[in-house]
Chain A
Amino acid sequence: MAATEELTNSNEFVAANGDARECVYQAAIDRMRISLNDALRGKREVVELVLACLLARGHLLIEDIPGLGKTTIAKALAAAVGGKFARMQCTPDLLPGDITGFNIFNQKTREFEFLPGPVFADVLLADEINRATPRTQSALFEAMAERQVTVDNCCRHLSEGFFVIATQNPIEQHGTYPLPEAQLDRFAIKLSIGYPDPENECEMLAAHVGTGTQVRKVATADITPEQLLVLQRHIESVAVADSVRRYLIDVAWATRRHAAVTLPISPRGVLIWQRMGQAWAHLRGRDFTTPDDFQEVAPHVLGVRLSGDFSDPGAIIAEILETVPVPVA
């Protein structure tokens, strides 16, 4: 398989430079893109955003009704990255230790041994995160932000490519613990997958004829976690012009001045937004960002952060983006 060959050439992947490096990187991204699009048909924009979030070293919150492919894309992504995948079904009785792991006394060795929790995976799917208690949510958020956990006064580092995909159901709120607005800032973007269009839904049905409810398994990974780290570091080098950077600040201040917004974007949110824009530009094959890159990811980046006296954050974000002048020189 081509993917296997690429995996065997990890050293070449890391050592590549110049135009060759760009080709190798784009090829790896294309492989992931294909895999994710195979898993989630007709949702190219969602796939692009998921990829951008992954490359920007952010975490992803998917808010949608059940059955639209949240778990599917999380699994497909974990398989494409080739790292360790863990799934965590959040319930009210889920404890922080269940996430971070805990020490257990080994009768044989007469010592405490650490049993790592699901956060020690490369890709973690936290399903129905709003059903976990705030205490458990906080433990997860700390791990997401710090990429480390502390158990019994012992600090343990998580995987460098640690990536969380959390899901929540927007309509069934009984017995849930809504995520604190301030803590939503830990996620890079919030997505809503939505229903597929009829053609893609029909294709989906055809693809499952003969397989029943059996879940298809991804045979091989598209890139290794090491290669993902290289890609993520490369994304950070995508150029952001001064004028574009100023534009980001202008938009951020526009959210802070807006009368309807009570919780505007924070400096940390602006940093994540910049990384998302860089990743988006790279996905478009450019080594520099334009205001378009930031505008296109803005509804998802700002949508998870802004709160206030409005029901439709998208309208507020669109209003702000329309009023803040983009730099043209």
Chain B
Amino acid sequence: MNSERLAGYSTIALAGIGSLAIQDAIAGPLGSLVDRTLFPSLFVVVSLVSFQWLSKRARPDRPYPRVMAGVSLGLLLAPAPVEWLTRSLADVGIPYELVMIAGLRNVTLGLAAASCWRRYRNIAAALSAFCLLFACTLDTTWLTLGCVAAYTVAGSLWLMVQYQSALRIESENQPTASMPIPAFGIVLLVLFAALGVVAGAGESVTYALGELMPTSGGTGARDPFARGGIGDGDDVVAGEDVQSDGGDSDIHLSSPEPSLYDVFNELYGEPQMPKNMQRAIALPSERIREPDKVSKNHQAGREFSLHRRRTQRRPAPRDLVADAQLYVDGKSPQHLPLVAYDEFDGWRWHEAEHAPRHVDLEKTLAGWLKSPEPEREYEGGTERYRIKVGKLETRGLPFPRRVVSFKLGAVDRADFFRMAYPGIISLADASSTLPPGTILHVEAATLDWEALEELSPHSLLRTSTGQAHADPSDGGLSKRTAELVDQWAAEYPPGPKQVAGVVERLRDRCRLDRDAIVPSSVDGPVDYFLFESRKGPDYLFATTATLALRHLGYTARAVSGFYVNPARYDAHGRTTPVVTEDAHFWTEVQLANGDWITQEPTPGYFRTPPTLTWEEWAWTVVAGAMRYLIDHAAAVAAILLAVGLVTLYRRRVADVGLVGVWWVGIRCQRRASVAWTLWLLERRATLAGHRRPPGQTPSRWLGPLTALASEPSDALSTFLQTFERVAYGAGVEDATSFRLCGQVVRDWKLATLRSALSEFITIVPER
């Protein structure tokens, strides 16, 4: 292989790697491996084929073909109409910057295909480097890193080949076209002018130039296909390195947005006071004259009643996405606790009286507030989250459990925060709430649930020593419920396994029905839920689990907040919107070290899995693949059988296809029928493993076959003569040659040609 061709191949390799990196960025985190590799592979194949075609027809003695300028422009603009079509027809699209870089990728591959010309080769290599760098700025996945490594190797090879090729070209005194001095001059002029404007006009111009970048967020415009749900549009720009981020939001103003209490009312319906409860409350005489204060609860989040009216669901989930309360960029599923309830009076959960206390936080150099708590042995790695407050107005910080460190804009002092409930942080100022647009950066530890279950029974805080306990008079379990719970608990050893087992049994016994309500006529909601309806909303699961765990002596509490549902993940925004329907109740038990551990009693809701190591991830992938194969055994077997048959008879299958192409080709008359027939014979010989050497003429290649003592040799000999006359002389085809071609195709079938060529190869001397 000569150096020019090797240089072309290496250039295509560079362009292919750049294309792969770009496609990886376009596919996003949800894209499968096929999404990331299919199109680059196709593009590279097209580029390779084009390169082969151009290499055979390129005239190095001619100047560079200027038509490539038009071709490049077409390739650059091609993604725009495609994007318009996909957005219009399928409501699928990519951000404008990716459309632009896709066009640049096309140009790179197009020029790589024309890399038999040195200048195009150089431009393609430079553009491929730009594509790779651009992709690295968008995302850093394992595939991107692999592309960088591959590019390093291929780039080194490309440089070496270029050097050798340059030596050859200089020795050959190859004619070259004159350099486009005016074009370079214009580019330099524009660059100098831009630098001059920026240097002279200062920051205002820099900001203005930055806004030229679509979907960068600086313009305040919103695009539904913009990249990054957090950080796009309006006045917020998300940075990858949040530790070095100077702050996303300094907005801490009050606003009329809904609070968590309003969310509950909207989701579960407004609470209603049962008549018997109204009678049970003893009021002073002065308050009897103000009944509104009795029947209404203005203390949002302070208590939660299980008496609820049926509420109307929002029919359009699309609107819910638009009205998200929070946007979470991070691992899901996830529980975001906001309010903890300690006391239960039989119908209502009350927030326990809790003296707000100071939060122990250490400020880091980067402006983060870090928890001084030591790492626990049951932690499963840390995860980073970016949480953008949507419509929700809350004083509590919607953080996951086990916060390691967090950052809230420029609010970097520990005394700005307080511990609203044990383990739940909120703003210290009671009148302040997190307004929409606030972005919270959090680093939190995940929990290794298997390690937790292996903890000793003493690791759990028992009621006798804990602060939370059930009051048997108004919040305890009835006798039959207690018996049921005891029956469940007997199956497990005391400790974390018993807690998990009881919760699991509850999940199995009842089913989730958000529309189910507990009639006010029943004696107790838990009994009704466990033994009569056996269905209900999540707060009934949480209440039952909490009371059951308290009955068993564990310190437990009900917690409300939001559930980050992975099913809502928005690939466009790369975030998980948390909508009103994600308001959620669950249970927490306390460990002896003070940590509150999430327990999820509601079916359909799950706890956050621990962060996987590479080995665990690989095993998960393998296990998932195996599970898929087992689940689809019949389909997989059918596909494997089909692939096997096609592989086994691939030559025959390919030959049938080739004959079909030949049959159509000779009737289209685009080429002479003898040319089509020779094409078919060549392809058949290639299938038979005896490809015609490129420097061998058809007569020299097939001529010896005519000497073989076989019937078809006459037709082949005549065919070769006719071919030479038509292809190289002034001969024209007639009906005879048409029939002759058919005869040759019938005589020299794949098997015949293979055996004849094999025999010929053994007897023919080298030229």
Contacts and interface: CB of A to CB of B under 8 A. Distances in A.
B730 A328 contact: no
Contact of A328 (B2, B4, B675): B675
A327 B672 CA distance: 14
A323 interface: yes
A324 B5 CA distance: 13
Contact of A291 (B672, B678, B697): B697
B56 A325 contact: yes
B185 interface: no
Contact of A326 (B61, B679, B695): B695
A297 to B, nearest CB: 13
Nearest to A291: B697
A322 B694 contact: yes
Given A328-B678, A329-B671, A329-B675, A241 B729 contact: yes
B330 interface: no
B172 interface: yes
A107 to B, nearest CB: 58
B730 A239 contact: yes
B727 A241 contact: yes
Interface in A286-320: 286-292, 295, 318
A39 B518 CA distance: 123
A292 B695 contact: no
A257 B2 contact: yes
B675 A259 contact: no
A259 B167 CA distance: 10
A153 B40 CA distance: 73
B695 A290 contact: no
A61 interface: no
Interface string B162-188: 000000100010000000000000000
A288 B172 contact: no
A243 B695 contact: no
Contacts of A328: 675, 678-679, 682, 697-698, 727
Interface string B664-681: 000000011001001100
A287 to B, nearest CB: 7
Interface string B685-703: 0000000011111111000
Contacts of A244: 728
Interface in B107-159: none
A253 interface: yes
A318 B682 CA distance: 22
B61 A253 contact: yes
Interface string B742-767: 00000000000000000000000001
A147 interface: no
A250 to B, nearest CB: 9
Contacts of B696: 322, 326
B644 interface: no
A279 B565 CA distance: 84
A257 B172 contact: yes
Contacts of B4: 257
B724 interface: yes
A326 B694 CA distance: 6
A329 B727 CA distance: 6
Interface in B693-744: 693-700, 724-725, 727-730
B81 to A, nearest CB: 35
Interface in A32-59: none
B728 A321 contact: no
Contacts of A259: 2, 168
Contacts of B699: 290, 292
Nearest to B725: A288
Interface string A159-186: 0000000000000000000000000000
Interface in A255-281: 256-257, 259
Nearest to B724: A290
B695 A321 contact: yes
Interface in A95-135: none
Contacts of A326: 694-697
B60 interface: yes
Nearest to B169: A257
Contacts of B730: 239, 288
A286 B721 CA distance: 11
Contacts of A243: 727-728
A119 to B, nearest CB: 35
Nearest to A321: B695
Contacts of B172: 256-257
A257 B164 CA distance: 12
A239 B697 contact: no
Contacts of A324: 694-695
A307 B4 CA distance: 22
B4 to A, nearest CB: 7
Contacts of B672: 329
Given A257-B4, A259-B168, A329-B675, A322 B695 contact: yes
Interface in B628-687: 671-672, 675, 678-679, 682
A256 B693 CA distance: 22
Contacts of B60: 253, 257
B729 A322 contact: no
A241 B728 contact: yes
A239 B725 CA distance: 11
Scoring A286, A287, A292, A328 by chain B CB atoms within 10 A of each residue's CB, the highest score goes to A328
B725 A295 contact: no
B695 A239 contact: no
Interface string B537-578: 000000000000000000000000000000000000000000
Q: Which interface residue of B678, B697, B730, B767 has the most chain A CB atoms within 10 A?
A: B697
A271 B61 CA distance: 17
A290 B728 contact: yes
A291 B727 CA distance: 11
Given A244-B728, A253-B61, A257-B172, A292 B700 contact: yes
23 contacts: A239-B728, A241-B727, A243-B728, A257-B4, A257-B60, A259-B2, A286-B729, A288-B724, A288-B729, A290-B699, A290-B728, A291-B697, A292-B697, A322-B693, A322-B694, A323-B695, A324-B694, A324-B695, A325-B694, A326-B696, A328-B675, A328-B698, A329-B727
Interface of A: 239, 241, 243-244, 253, 256-257, 259, 286-292, 295, 318, 321-329
Given A291-B728, A292-B699, A328-B698, 10 more contacts: A241-B729, A243-B727, A257-B2, A257-B60, A259-B2, A290-B697, A292-B697, A292-B700, A322-B695, A328-B682
Interface of B: 2, 4, 56, 60-61, 168, 172, 671-672, 675, 678-679, 682, 693-700, 724-725, 727-730, 767
Q: Which 3 A-B pairs have the closest CB atoms?
A: A288-B729, A325-B694, A322-B695
